[in-house]
Chain A
Amino acid sequence: MPKLSIEDLEKISERVRRTTLLREGAGRAKVTVHMGTCGIAAGSRKIIDTLLRLVEEQDVKDVILTTSGCAGLCSREPMATVELLQEAPVKYVDLTEDKIRRIFLEHVLGGRPVQEYALAVGSERTQ
């Protein structure tokens, strides 16, 4: 692997934005499971496993599954964020396998957020 130049950084950014940020053609939905130690201890591995199984079961091709670190609200883990194309991300808390299954079917596939499990919509303020 040759060393990166600054222009390469831009190219990587562009590529990532194309593939993991929801843009035309890439994905229709992105699900991020928060997997810091707090999330894992609370059971987030089961959540990602369930999602992987659902993706396979339903044979969906346009949903991006990804993981991330702690979302800050450790007492409400496991947490996941669902982002649909052109919609604000929705954060879900206190997840179980049943809940994520319902979220996957209703929100990710059906387009309708599951209000009971949702904590908030939108992103955090970064400076």
Chain B
Amino acid sequence: MKPYRANVMVCAGTGCVSNHSLEIKKAFEEEIQKRGLADEVQVVTTGCNGFCGAGPIAVVQPDGIFYQLLKIKDIPYLVEEHLLKGRPVPRLMYVPPEEKIHIPKMNDIAFFKGQMLVALRNRGMIDPENIDDYIARDGYRASAKVLTTMTPDEVIQMIEASGLRGRGGGGFPTGVKWESCRKAKGEPRYVICNADEGDPGAFMDRSIIEGDPHSVLEGMVIGAFAVGSSEGYIYVRQEYPLARERLVIAINQAREYGLLGDDIFGTGFKFDVDIRRGAGAFVCGESTALMASVEGRVGEPRAKYIHTVEHGLWNKPTCLNNVETWATIPAIIMRGVDWFTSIGTGDVSENPWGGSKGTKVFSVAGKINNTGLVEVPMGITLREIIFDVGGGVPKGKKFKAVQTGGPSGGFLAAELLDLQVDYEQLTEAGSMMGSGGMVIMDEDNCMVDMAKYFLTFTQDESCGKCAPCREGTLRMLQILQRITDGKGTEEDLVLLEDLSHYVIDSSLCALGGSAPNPVLTTLRYFREEYEVHIRDKKCPARVCRQLNVYTIDPNLCVTKGHGCGVCRAQCPEKAIVGEKNKAHSVIQDACKKCGVCYDVCKFDAIQIS
């Protein structure tokens, strides 16, 4: 008997059979018969190929071509092409992973390549609702090490030597704070985690808690041991329901394992954590307002000369740190001071303010291609964050400014793109590290309008306790409004600057103490934009509508829009006239410059000049 030229080996494992491979076999046989290939090609069934997911599977030998996910209707074509004409059908073929398909490597992608994960070390890797996942990635080893082999002073020394500075805003050296708290008189002592995160557009802390809540709890256990506390609070804003839910789960799991509670690791050390919900007031992120809120009082700050490390929550010594600060602690304990100080800028061996060590998480938003959360080494340039990691400005627009540090951070212009991101250099440039918000603006953003936008936020969030902040920011806002309405004067700029300094110098807390930053930095880097608003009554970015003149291009209106009349119908002032199929026009005297016509015209016929 003549040997067969080819074998079609149809998988008849359970998986493939349940995917109708026997019908596929029958279809092969019928088609082969029909084509008169029955003497040349044999159809056989095989046992399971182990690739059940790709079934029904057929392998054509001797070519060794592996076909997958076959359907009855594929068979005639397959037989004709491959078995009759000798041309394998790529569409139906399985390509083994090695020779496929180019997918870039994680580290070839700039977004990931430029990052260095410390606080976010477990991001995307663990199930945040399962403590075992955290433990499997060396979780709670740092608290074990601290509790069983170190003294509180050794822990404090280590954190001091690491140069870690608070990630929540002020950049205060964490070790120094812990030491003052430990030395302060009074019992009990408290540790608090600040998860208020009130900055618009910031989501670092939320993401850490949602993705890795135990890293924060473990950090707090270590801090509590160092300062001598047995009671901690996490202050989370009401608007973070998922973060809170995962924290509750994490706390319960940690308690169940005895990683929180009495006699942790059998050392006699006890510490437990409770959650307090904030109502979402920006000022409640400020340390003293936060503590007032935890106590159940109105969230208002008090003067700074009474230190919270001595007289904090319920007037007891209290150590407050930010979420990211807490999450970084276990990494420092495990990896050591030398590792941490090898990342970042400056020298902290003599002076804890002497440099910025480690990494910082930023939420990058605004006019940027890769909106998201990035963790980068301190000392990276703004340019690297925005253009490499962030992927640059979308739609080929020109970069104009970046605002760092949250609503009261400053705006930095393009000429500062090579600035290294660390506490000192950002402050020198008129901005700040803040908690890590980063908003990118392009040529379509008006800097006066942006300053107004952020001042509106801080003005609104001012608690009203002290006059400089309450009244000063209001007056500043009124001036900005005047300028964007085209009613500003040259003196307004001087007045704005003076007011800014008064507010900064005399406000009770850092809310007022930093709220004028957006105004001061836009005046510093974009002064001519203010001047154009005042002198020429024009907004170069065409954002400030009161300064725009709206006209209609008669040609576009007719040829493209056929005088559709939508603008006429929508104009609240009835300032647009025209008829169907004819060019419309704006009666300038009646126009209130609301810009509705510009928004509704689908044919770009409304022109701004």
Contacts and interface: CB of A to CB of B under 8 A. Distances in A.
A105 B144 contact: no
A69 B211 contact: yes
B370 interface: yes
5 contacts: A6-B141, A112-B96, A113-B101, A125-B107, A126-B116
Interface string B251-273: 00000111100011110000000
Contacts of B126: 68
Contacts of A20: 133, 136
Given A111-B96, A123-B106, A124-B123, 9 more contacts: A9-B140, A9-B144, A70-B210, A72-B120, A72-B372, A75-B370, A109-B51, A110-B51, A110-B54
A72 B263 contact: no
B136 A13 contact: yes
B257 A3 contact: yes
A12 B132 contact: yes
A4 B258 contact: yes
A109 B56 CA distance: 12
Interface in A97-123: 105, 108-113, 115, 118-123
A60 B372 CA distance: 34
A83 to B, nearest CB: 11
A126 B215 CA distance: 15
B54 A37 contact: no
Interface in A73-105: 73-76, 81, 84, 87, 90-91, 105
Contacts, number: 191
B69 interface: yes
A32 B374 CA distance: 20
B373 A72 contact: yes
Contacts of A32: 124
Nearest to A19: B132
Contacts of A69: 123-124, 128, 207, 210-212
Nearest to A32: B124
Interface residues of B, number: 74
Contact of B117 (A6, A90, A125): A125
A19 B116 CA distance: 28
B257 A70 contact: no
Given A70-B373, A108-B53, A4 B257 contact: yes
B11 to A, nearest CB: 13
B117 A111 contact: no
Nearest to B133: A16
Nearest to A91: B106
A125 B53 contact: no
Contact of A110 (B53, B111, B138): B53
Given A70-B211, A119-B109, A1 B257 contact: yes
A2 B257 CA distance: 7
Given A72-B372, A127-B116, A105 B207 contact: no
Contacts of A72: 111-112, 115, 120, 123-124, 372-374
Contacts of B570: none
Contacts of A66: 127
Contacts of B335: 127
A7 to B, nearest CB: 10
Most chain A CB within a 10 A radius of its CB, from B206, B212, B266, B373: B373
Interface string B137-169: 011110010001000000000000000000000
B583 to A, nearest CB: 41
A127 B117 CA distance: 6
Given A67-B127, A72-B115, A113-B97, A40 B242 contact: yes
A68 B127 contact: yes
Interface string B42-58: 00000000011110000
A113 B212 CA distance: 28
B278 to A, nearest CB: 17
Contacts of A110: 51, 53-54, 68-69, 94
A121 B97 contact: no
B258 A9 contact: no
Contacts of A3: 257-258, 263-266
Contact of A105 (B53, B118, B129, B257): B53
The 7 A-B residue pairs with the shortest CB-CB distance, nearest first, are A109-B53, A69-B211, A3-B258, A122-B106, A16-B136, A75-B371, A110-B54
Nearest to B135: A12
Contacts of A120: 103-106, 108-109, 112
A112 B101 CA distance: 9
Nearest to A86: B97
